[in-house]
Chains A and B, each alone.
Chain A
Amino acid sequence: MTNPFAKPWIWSWVAAALAFALTLGLTSGRGAGELAYAALSFGAFAAIVGLGQMLVITLGPGNVDLSIPATMTLSATLALKAMGSDEGTALLGLVVALGAGLGAGLANYALIFLLRLPPIIATLAASLVYQSFAIWSNRGLRIKPPEGLADFATGRFLGLPNVAWVGLALAIVVWVVLERSVWGRWLLATGQQMRVARLAGVPVELVRASTYVTVAVFAALSGYLLASFSGGAALNMGTEYLLMSIAVVVIGGTSIAGGYSNVPGVWGAALFMFLVVSMLNSYGAGAGVRNVLTGAIIIAIVIAASTKKRGRA
């Protein structure tokens, strides 16, 4: 406990700080505020979906939600369509988005529970259906978000981006729920040993259902904010968040084997994923080199985290 480096989430923050420092090293410190602001804005979307994915991965091996991008796109599309760029409809849009997320989450879990499908394949198949819904309802139109909502999504409060406030608030809620609530303990117990948890009286299926609904609602919220932030929903807006959501969880120090969550690490990793790209950009790396290095860094972090773990044990 005395050694701060024993905490698994510290690594993502160290990596993020390092990327931040290296980027600024090039400009000899200029633009630090802007870079931090951009990282917080873009990191927020990754952090929100990452928090959801973290809860699912905590459920244990084989649990992962591959429908996050489709859910983001679908809920953002439906929300923007419902709002139709009219002022004062932001709340309606939010309700529509979260409703779409709720529906997607329930549908995912229904496939997993009723058809006994492995979650990977259930969410994969379902995501194809959601994608179709999104294409059908969007029809290539790009509806602008209402001005007030767009202002909120791109605005700031006390110097921090509003979207980052939303992401931070969610992180705190998830952290408190995991650490302090019965549901959080149930989730961790289920992830550590599902059979034992069931025998100990944990309503395992209820925990699983609520987790799959939560991840979909988080994805919906992230999609709603991202569409408002970037001036409209696009059919490919969620694509990068599939790999991103998994990467953020793992770099953040959450155990991929389940049963151990790590909330602060998700934010650190979300910032890191943005900062590493901007660092490589500012050093003039092309798209190819950038991808190779991103991949190498992800693997290096996983290896570092695993040897650390063994050293402690």
Chain B
Amino acid sequence: MSLLARYRIILPAVSLAVLLAATFWMQPRAMSYFGLNLLFNLAVPIALATIAQMMIIMVNDIDLSVGAFVSLVACITATFLNDAPVLGLAMLLALIVTYAVMGAVIHALDLPAIVVTLGMSFVWGGIALFILPSPGGSSPGWLRTLMTVKPPLAPMAVVASVVIAVVTHFLVIRSGLGTVLRGVGGNARSVQRAGWPVIRLKALAYGLAGLFGVLAGMALVGLTTSADANIALRYTLLSIAGVILGGGEFTGGKVSPTGAVIGALTLTLASSFLSFLRLSPDWQIGAQGAILILVLTARLVFRQKRAEA
């Protein structure tokens, strides 16, 4: 099992390293503080959104509303949190609570999460349009400062990614509660029989997803300084891809927070790498898909090796 756990993280790490090496080889000037910052600039919100998605996948569900939710948070951050911080904060807290309630309802009524979150994505999108009908707003000053701070040694994006990975690793893998949460994904019935209130655990997992979704939206506004209702719609698919790239699986509570962060970094780097390749813009999206397929193929090879061993 420890071998498996180690394998699970090796592959995402190797993919990221290979991609990073290829980028440096093509563009040696990227191998600097400033270069790294540019490469990974947008990685922080994607990493946070991927962690949010991971919390849901951890309990065997899937969240199709991550993108719309992060967009809504971005809209609130760029308007209410900036103009009336107390009200803005209350709204963000209410969103997290809503997420937790959604988890409880999904469990209590045995609803398909994929459809409920699909419906919620319309709701989030609608509220976002209501708050910010046209692109605009501005980032709270402290948030902007936080996201653009220049720590020594490594750029903010890298430091933040490491912090996110470490914190979520302790939360999900090391803590007792995290282990039970993963148990819900593994076998909810056993967890229930063991005396745990599964409904509360599910609410907790969803609440955590909401929390990380909120952080993702705030981080995004800190970087872009403004928001619109569609700003993060592509995060839904990116976050799912990030979790899987990071060695997670759709069922069985098999997730890796460190892997998910690395997966998000890989996806971000892939698009930077492709622009260095001077690939015609027509093919950039396709090449991203190809990289995704390539990494997942490598995973298959790894798995077969392991089966033979």
Contact = CB atoms under 8 A, between A and B. Distances in A.
A115 B296 contact: yes
Interface in B253-309: 280-290, 292-293, 296-297, 300
A131 B290 CA distance: 12
B88 interface: no
A172 B267 CA distance: 43
Chain B interface mostly helix, strand, loop or mixed?
A: helix
Given A250-B115, A299-B119, A132 B282 contact: yes
B119 A298 contact: yes
Contacts of B129: 286-288, 291
Interface string A96-131: 000000000000000100011110110011111111
B293 A115 contact: yes
A124 B237 contact: yes
B120 A125 contact: no
Nearest to B129: A288
Among the interface residues A131, A289, A302, which one has the most CB atoms of the partner chain B within 10 A? A302
Given A115-B297, A124-B240, A298-B115, A290 B126 contact: yes
A306 B292 contact: no
Given A115-B300, A132-B285, A287-B129, A298 B114 contact: no
A246 B118 CA distance: 9
Contacts of A128: 285-286, 288-290, 292
B126 A287 contact: yes
Nearest to B124: A295
B287 A132 contact: yes
A288 B130 contact: yes
B102 to A, nearest CB: 9
Nearest to B279: A132
A91 interface: no
Interface stretch (B77-85, B105-113, B148-156, B211-219): B105-113
B125 interface: yes
A133 interface: yes
B39 interface: no
A133 B292 CA distance: 17
A129 B282 CA distance: 10
Classify chain B: how many residues form its interface, as a range: 35 or more
Interface in B84-112: 109-112
Contact of A295 (B119, B130, B290): B119
Contacts of A130: 286
B199 interface: no
Contact of B286 (A133, A246, A302, A303): A133
B289 A127 contact: yes
Residues of A contacting B: mostly: helix
A225 interface: no
Contact of B121 (A62, A115, A136, A243): A243
A287 B230 CA distance: 13
Contact of A131 (B62, B122, B251, B286): B286
B283 A136 contact: yes
Interface string A281-311: 0000011111111111111001100110010
B286 to A, nearest CB: 3
Interface in A16-67: 62, 64, 66
Interface string A64-92: 10100000000000000000000000000
Interface of B: 62, 64, 109-112, 114-116, 118-131, 133, 237, 240-241, 244, 249-251, 280-290, 292-293, 296-297, 300
Interface of A: 62, 64, 66, 111, 115-118, 120-121, 124-133, 135-136, 139, 243, 246-247, 250, 256-257, 286-299, 302-303, 306-307, 310
6 contacts: A118-B249, A128-B286, A288-B131, A302-B112, A303-B111, A310-B110
The 7 closest A-B pairs by CB, nearest first: A132-B286, A128-B289, A291-B126, A295-B122, A288-B130, A292-B126, A298-B119
